[in-house]
Amino acid sequence: MAFAVDIDAGTAERGASREPIARPPGKPKNAVLAIENMNCGGCMRKIERVLETAPGIASVRANLSAKRVTVAFDPQDTGTETIIKTLADAGFRAADLAHNNIDDGNLADQDLLRRLAVAGFAAANIMLLSVSVWAGLASDMDEEVQSLFHWLSALIALPTVAYSGQPFFRSAATALKAWRLNMDVPISLALALATGMSLVQTIRGSEHVYFDASVSLVFFLLIGRYLDQSLRSRAKGAAQNLIGMKSGWATVVAEDGTSERMPARALEPGMRVLVAAGERIFVDGRIVSGRTDIDEQLITGESVPRSAADGDRVYAGTVCLTAPIEVEATAADKDTLLADITRLMETAEQNKGRYVRLADRAAAFYAPVVHTLGLITFLGWMWLGGGWEMALTTAISVLIITCPCALALAVPAVQVAATSRLFNRGVIMTAADGLERLAEIDTVVFDKTGTLTKGTPELSNSAGISEETLAAAAALATNSRHPYAQAVVRAAQSRGVRVVPTDGVVETPGAGLSRKSAWGDEERLGSADWCGIGPNSTSVDDSEAGASLWYRPSRGDPATAFQFVDVLRADAAETVAMFQSAGLGVLLISGDQEAAVKDAALTARIEDWFAEQRPNEKIAQLRKLEAAGRCVLMVGDGLNDAPALAAAHASLSPASAVEVSQIASDGIVQGQRLAPVIEAVAVGRRTRRMSLQNFAIAAAYNAICIPLAMAGFVTPLIAAIAMSASSIVVTANALRLTTAKLKL
């Protein structure tokens, strides 16, 4: 192949090997991608190798635990969409994540981890300096050496407490500015008094200082704070990865006819968007060109697609199935049907405000009691003549021993164990108090399409169709994205029929597929009208009258009916039966047609069911249950389920659910089975029980140790050790949940 190249005289003289003039690189950009199928170290290394050799890539950093990769690239040479395609060619499904969705949680985790590391390092070093003093060797030391050890401890402790204690100091300052108390107020007071008094004692040359107690205290408290933050970040990050997989790119057509690919979140009203067959529509608008079938299942719950042509309205979240269309956007993000449902969801979600964590409930009276006990101890020892130094030391011991470390860990430790267990069993909890509310439910409400059922039609009369007919119909069906056509192909493959795609197939949106043979005859696969099956046809018996799809061969043979059903998930009936046997009520509330809902309810053995329910009607049904004193768990996946998910006492959604439903729910269920829903409820109930056990442990610890501290039998260091021991006991109790055998 020859190429025409213009070469000037100077270039010719220097020879053909001259290097091209280097273009200055553009300003580097960063992209964070969620990788769905990065499951091992080998996957991580392969991703890094693939991207490092791609053009325009400056650096790559993969994170296996978060299933994300951060890429720095030159926008002049490549872009996010190209990087995603490169990964797809290598076998990895990736999605772009917006930075503002991920940075806050990561930064909070890293900040607490840094402070925890500093506190742990400082505590170990101060303990080394204190061992000689507390082990009884102080009497063999010169006063100058002992004073040196104290000053070295002070040099380590003061900046450590000032830096590592900032999360507690900031929280306490915020509470005091609002004229209220929280758990961080006594913590901050204990840290400040213990450190300040130790500094004064060091300056005076006293024998006893408690820098080791101050730093050990902040170290153990940060462990609890980090566990809580890590739990929230992990749940949020996993949910964002799933949501990111649902985001996409749209093709925008300019006035001059050129097209540009841009993130769906950047679309605006007035833009013309080209939607290919099989793509999701990202805007509310009207069709200006083309005719297709629209899958509105995620919005309406209706599993049968509708036909749409020029001038028809379409909505964000629906899918263009059979032919490309051009849509003019008429609504921005805040004005779409999706946004309306989101606002309805947010209104319903306000009911969740009364649910707070058990530890926060205890904080309302715990902090004032701690301060009162410390003050009583100080005044009591002063009245007994112990002197201000003895009185203050004893009061500090009381503040340290009553620091709510065990109380603060009581819920987070159990939640970490519970969410880890659920994560391994396919449930990602996204709400901090979701487990608490799951423990209280006594009624389960299922949506139908995509939740109780698989959400994809299956050929129900495959056994009555010959292999020859099934193979011919599947050959046509391979050319369409329509769910019925895809179901025909799956049915043929499951029977071992060899499916050979055929050429010359024409798809007529809203009608079906057709192909002309060499003899001029035409075979068709589609609706009854499309295949020439009239309502009064004598060749159609009663069992075939409601068929959704027909195949008419080209030879003039009789047409064959294809009947479909949206089958239940494999364990749907078993899951319903287990809930019912445990004494929980089970209902089915769906936006689908009455016949389909009734059939699903009978198959799953659900007695109470409601069909053709709009979002506000679903909320009304939940309100009736709530008024009757029921605590409802809602399980749903569509946009029309989002308000009900937010309004329910607790809620779960499948991983295949639309983004807004995942945001509205308390947890996300992965996989094709419903058994994880049972596991989530069982774990929620055990979590509540173990949280109460941990509160009892913390209460018993305080009942024993506080009187001893007030009586002067506990030094600040012993108080810090006792407080740490109570935290270890609470954590060990929580870890039992990871291996416990649970039943409803």
* Catalytic residue annotation: 447
Could you give the angle at the alpha carbon of 395 between the alpha carbons of 389 and 400, nearest 5°? Answer: 125
DSSP 3-state assignment of 618? helix
Q: What is the DSSP letter of 741?
A: -
How many helices (DSSP H) and strands (DSSP E) are in the chain?
23, 27
Alpha-carbon distances, residue 340 vs 41, 193, 331, 639, 647 (angstroms): 43, 53, 11, 10, 15
- Residue 615 to residue 86: CA distance in whole angstroms: 40
- Residue 508 to residue 236: CA distance in whole angstroms: 44
Alpha-carbon distances, residue 495 vs 465, 469, 491 (angstroms): 11, 13, 6
Q: What is the DSSP letter of 39?
A: -
- Residue 598 to residue 606: CA distance in whole angstroms: 9
DSSP 3-state assignment of 560? strand
- Name 562's bridge partners: 549
Both tokens of 69, joined, read 């990769």
Residues 6+ apart with CB under 8 A from 334: none
Strand pairing category for 632-635 and 443-446:
parallel
- Residue 370 to residue 372: CA distance in whole angstroms: 5
427-429 sheet: strands from edge to edge:
427-429, 667-669, 650-654, 632-635, 443-446, 585-589, 608-610
C-beta neighbour count of 630 within 10 angstroms: 17
DSSP 642-692: HHHHHHSSEEEEETTS-HHHHHHSSEEE-SS-SHHHHHHHHHHHHHHHHHH
- Residue 499 to residue 725: CA distance in whole angstroms: 67
Q: Which residue's entry shows tokens 């490309």? A: 324
Burial status of residue 223 (CB atoms within 10 A of its CB: 0-12, 13-18, 19 or more): buried
- The end-to-end CA distance of the chain, in Å, is 72
- Name 507's bridge partners: 513
- Residue 675 to residue 655: CA distance in whole angstroms: 14
- Residue 731 to residue 729: CA distance in whole angstroms: 5
Both tokens of 32, joined, read 């964070």
* Residue 567 near residue 548, CB atoms below 8 Å: no
Longest dimension (CA), the chain: 116
- Residue 87 to residue 69: CA distance in whole angstroms: 11
* Residue 159 near residue 152, CB atoms below 8 Å: no
SS3 of 261-297:
EEEHHHCCCCCEEEECCCCECCCEEEEEECCEEEECH
Could you give the angle at the alpha carbon of 616 between the alpha carbons of 614 and 620, nearest 5°? Answer: 110
